Structure 1
Amino acid sequence: MSNRLLTELQHQYSPVNEEEVTKLWNEVRPTFTDKIIVLDDDPTGVQTVHGVSVYTDWEEETIELGFKEENQMFFILTNSRAFTEKETKTAHEHIAERVERIAQKLGRSYMIISRGDSTLRGHYPLETEVMKNTIEEHSSMKLDGEILLPFFKEGGRLTIENVHYVQYDQKLVPAGETEFAKDRTFGFASSHLGEWIEEKTEGAFKAEDVTYISLQSIRSLAVEEITKQLIDVTDFNKVVVNAIEEEDVRIFAIALIKAMNKGKRFMFRSAATWTKVIGNISSKPLLKRSDLIEQSVENGGLIIVGSHVQKTTEQLQELQSLTSITAIEFDCHLVLEKEQFRKEIERVKKEAESSVAAGETTVIFTKRERLDLGEGMKEEELKLSVEISDAVTSIVRHFAITPKYIIAKGGITSSDVGTKGLQVKRATVAGQIAPGVPVWKTGSESTFPAIPYIIFPGNVGTASTLKEIVIELEQ
């Protein structure tokens, strides 16, 4: 399948009638009152929303707090992309059972969204399958189908003619031909989402049985036709939604709400755009330094770079071109030599504390080569990567100086820095500082209360985005 130019697409589909969509949305959206619970498999899923809570555990009382919030939607950070299959299964059983119990206690209907990676990595179909089975076991609810919606415009992830693409500049590359498809844990071959479903479910769900919501139907505002497609879905069959603009997702949401009002129930596996649209979250301008940092703060910022994807390495190189930045490489390969590793952690922490206290923004980055133990050593590599992550988060947790802000680069890195390093139990999403780059305001229980914590996904932005964010924060 050849690369496609984005500009070709702009002319291929008729534009959305935004006035008509707004009118339909304003009629239909108020009829949807379910509590929306978003399970985030890493902390980057809040990259389209603001003013919502993120909880970092799933104890029963935490979930009840979320249900009782005035907001219709709340997030639970599971960080399950860093889990083994067994850990993932256990976590999702617990969450689904507790959500169902609290919903019954409070007499509240709900929608669960499994927010996964827009480049299709993660524990799929395990997470949604486990939740479906658990919910059905503990209630009279039957889930008719599962909606797959990995579209995420800010990250350049578009679904066209049922094929999911990743944008590189003006080129669209089928997801199965990108570096993400070669992921050591969550790799895949198919770019066509029906075929991807068949691949991931090992043939339990066939590509030809999937319901496809086409861009033609969406752009012609064939809401009743799409609603009928959804009403016909049974036996937890899969629905693939094509989208190249946020408005496409809104049109689909109108049809979905109409189907739900007729009694249909679905599970969702989506990227971040779906949560914004169904949650009816307004668009907000990008955050500036003045929104986040008081002028009087003199300490430097602290940046932690863990992700190894090519884009992150390019962004790190660009960042290091700023002469005002102090860069410290953390030799994580010393994890194989315990005493050496302990000394390395201490060295990095002391050097970083010293430069942050001197007002210098400091980046700590892990060695850019992956630790490769060879064939058949996946589990051992995963254990070592957890040790490395624990080392990085311990630097943040025991950091003696309060940085003016913290940036963590990479999904798993940002989750561990947020929960283990900053020890956040509940944060509020302030908004985004760049497209697809969310900012938490940490809670009072945090290691550093009320500082901006910038969660920068490994696979988002251009080569200069990290540098541009730091320039904005340093002004």
Structure 2
Amino acid sequence: MSLPRHALPESEVLSGLPPVRAVGATEVAARITTAPRLVVLDDDPTGTQTVAGIPVLTTWTTEDLRWALRQESTAFFVLTNTRSLSPEDAAARNRDIVRALHEASLAEGVPYAIASRGDSTLRGHFPLETDVLAEELTSVGAGAPDGVVLVPAYIEAGRLTIDSVHWMRTPDGLLPVGESEFAKDATFGYTSSALPDWVEEKTGGRIPADKVVRITLGDLRTGGPTHVAEQLTALRDGATAVVDALCDDDLRVLALALAEAEEQGARLLYRVGPSFVRARAGQSAHPPLTAAELRPLRADAPHGLIVVGSHVSLTTRQLNHLRAQQGDLAEFELDVAQLLDATRRDAHLDEIATAAAAALESADTVIRTTRTVVTADDPEESLAISRSVSAALVEAVRRINATRRPAFVIAKGGITSSDTATHGLEIRRAWARGTLLPGIVSLWQPVDGPAAGIPYIVFAGNVGGDHALADALALLRSAA
């Protein structure tokens, strides 16, 4: 498919589309009362930012999974953090989770469906994760999936799929996602914006573009749930379907179709962006948390900690605006060169963590990595460097929290927020309580471990406007 290599006016891209078919969240919620529990395997922690009142696990023991299955919720998240892992480790982690989940499901008598949550800008281990999940589901006796349904849309962040082409909203208009900075990712890069072509590209031609089933806005809006259910029930032998979405109503039509297809016996595996989860869980968009709602969640401490690991240009701009708008900050840099030097790493870590803990007494404190990205020629070596730097950053958080508990913790970046949650703050179980900004920046309430009582804010590197980080901090400060 021939696509522009520049942004187009949104009105041009959206012209001539069929009218929206309105579907309320309550209609979906009523329809899914007997549907399998949706288990979202989140390859970084940011998938929770479209939902509220949903359990989150950072571990996947059978005991933890049984706890999640017992909660009154139509879905829950398992933070896998596989986007930061090598392909081999990502595969092994997915296999472990499916085995434990199947055991927990049998013990609790609660059926499940799996959504592999990937990045809305198409980065991550695809098709590896859905391939491995399909193999493991077959192995444990849950049955081989009839189809893999790809739904990368993220409505609030402006990641939209139209006529099977994935776009991202920019200040200049809608840009084909294959032309974005995210498509140039050192580990997960790609060139295609049309999803059937992207599937062919990422599968190395194993799944040709012309074999990918396209569920378009016409199917969703004109055909409706029954028509789309027919398309889904026709999937066989793990065929891939790609789905358009421009708004929540489109995704709720899909949710109704999925419920009908699953009721008819279709076994489906999902690879999705964040917005799918909200629709499939029967939730509507929630307004951001208010200062009054945040006040009882804040820890009993004067100031909070902001942890910045993401290196995308948007994060750097947000950090610059944070300094300009909220100037009374303490800021400390973990120097990547020193972190990669085994002889200097620990002393540098200790120096920064000690200084940051002391600063929390008098100011909201930023701890960040060097803004210059360090990569290698080999994608796996680049990923190893990222893991090493992230490990140092979260070790600094662990030391800071052990010395002085902050009022809150904001973690900026996907890998950063995952590692900070699991290793820096040792969170095992939490609840996603809502967002600080519309549809983005999720707040977790940890229910165990050293972070219990400290609100944890998951802030992806690639979302929000230039002022979003400053706005999030201003809201948290207003709850003091």
Give the Å deviation of 1:383.
Answer: 2.8
2:338 matched to 1:337?
no
Give the Å deviation of 1:204.
Answer: 1.3
Aligned residue number for residue 18 of structure 2: 14
**Secondary structure class of the residue paired with 2:367:** strand
- What is the rounded CA distance, in whole Å, between the counterparts of 1:101 and 1:297 in structure 2? 40
**Structure-1-length-normalised TM-score:** 0.94
Residues 1:198 and 1:364: Cα distance change in structure 2 (over 3 Å): same
1:79 is aligned with what amino acid? N
Structure 1: give runs of 5+ residues left out of the alignment: none
- What is the rounded CA distance, in whole Å, between the counterparts of 2:25 and 2:368 in structure 1? 49
2:418 matched to 1:415?
yes
- CA-based RMSD of the aligned residues comes to 2.0
Aligned residue number for residue 179 of structure 1: 181
Contact 1:293 1:404 in 2 (8 A): no
Which of 145, 168, 171 pairs up with 2:170? 168
Deviations 1:402-460 (A, max 9, x none): 11111010000001111101110101111000131100012232x23211111100000
Deviations 1:305-352 (A, max 9, x none): 000111111111111112212222221221232232222212211221
Which of 448, 452, 458 pairs up with 1:444? 448
Structure 2: give runs of 5+ residues left out of the alignment: none
Residues 1:361 and 1:169: Cα distance change in structure 2 (over 3 Å): same
Which of 153, 156, 179 pairs up with 1:154? 156
* Aligned residue runs from structure 1 range 74-223, under 5 A: 74-139=76-141, 141-169=143-171, 171-223=173-225
Contact 2:340 2:388 in 1 (8 A): no
Higher alpha-carbon deviation: 113-122 or 340-349: 340-349
Give the Å deviation of 1:297.
Answer: 4.5
- What is the rounded CA distance, in whole Å, between the counterparts of 1:315 and 1:5 in structure 2? 25
Residues 1:354 and 1:35: Cα distance change in structure 2 (over 3 Å): same
Give the Å deviation of 1:284.
Answer: 2.1
- What is the rounded CA distance, in whole Å, between the counterparts of 1:207 and 1:417 in structure 2? 39
- What is the rounded CA distance, in whole Å, between the counterparts of 2:367 and 2:104 in structure 1? 42
- What is the rounded CA distance, in whole Å, between the counterparts of 2:135 and 2:476 in structure 1? 46
Give the Å deviation of 1:64.
Answer: 1.8
Residues 1:330 and 1:381: Cα distance change in structure 2 (over 3 Å): same
Which of 424, 429, 434 pairs up with 1:431? 434
1:335 is aligned with what amino acid? L
Aligned residue number for residue 50 of structure 2: 48
Q: Number of paired residues? A: 469
Aligned residue number for residue 464 of structure 2: 461
2:330 matched to 1:326?
yes
Contact 1:28 1:258 in 2 (8 A): no
Residues 1:168 and 1:72: Cα distance change in structure 2 (over 3 Å): same
**Structure-2-length-normalised TM-score:** 0.93
Give the Å deviation of 1:25.
Answer: 3.1
**Secondary structure class of the residue paired with 2:360:** helix
Aligned residue number for residue 388 of structure 2: 387
- What is the rounded CA distance, in whole Å, between the counterparts of 1:411 and 1:425 in structure 2? 17
Residues 1:24 and 1:384: Cα distance change in structure 2 (over 3 Å): closer
Aligned residue number for residue 241 of structure 1: 243
Give the Å deviation of 1:24.
Answer: 9.8
Give the Å deviation of 1:99.
Answer: 2.0
Contact 2:375 2:385 in 1 (8 A): no
Give aligned-pair identity as a percent.
35
- What is the rounded CA distance, in whole Å, between the counterparts of 1:363 and 1:351 in structure 2? 11
1:384 is aligned with what amino acid? I
Deviations 1:238-257 (A, max 9, x none): 11100110100111221222
Residues 1:223 and 1:93: Cα distance change in structure 2 (over 3 Å): same
- What is the rounded CA distance, in whole Å, between the counterparts of 1:212 and 1:381 in structure 2? 34
- What is the rounded CA distance, in whole Å, between the counterparts of 2:373 and 2:258 in structure 1? 43
Contact 1:28 1:257 in 2 (8 A): no
Contact 2:441 2:459 in 1 (8 A): yes
Residues 1:26 and 1:46: Cα distance change in structure 2 (over 3 Å): closer
Aligned residue number for residue 61 of structure 1: 63
Residues 1:208 and 1:426: Cα distance change in structure 2 (over 3 Å): same
Higher alpha-carbon deviation: 461-470 or 57-66: 57-66
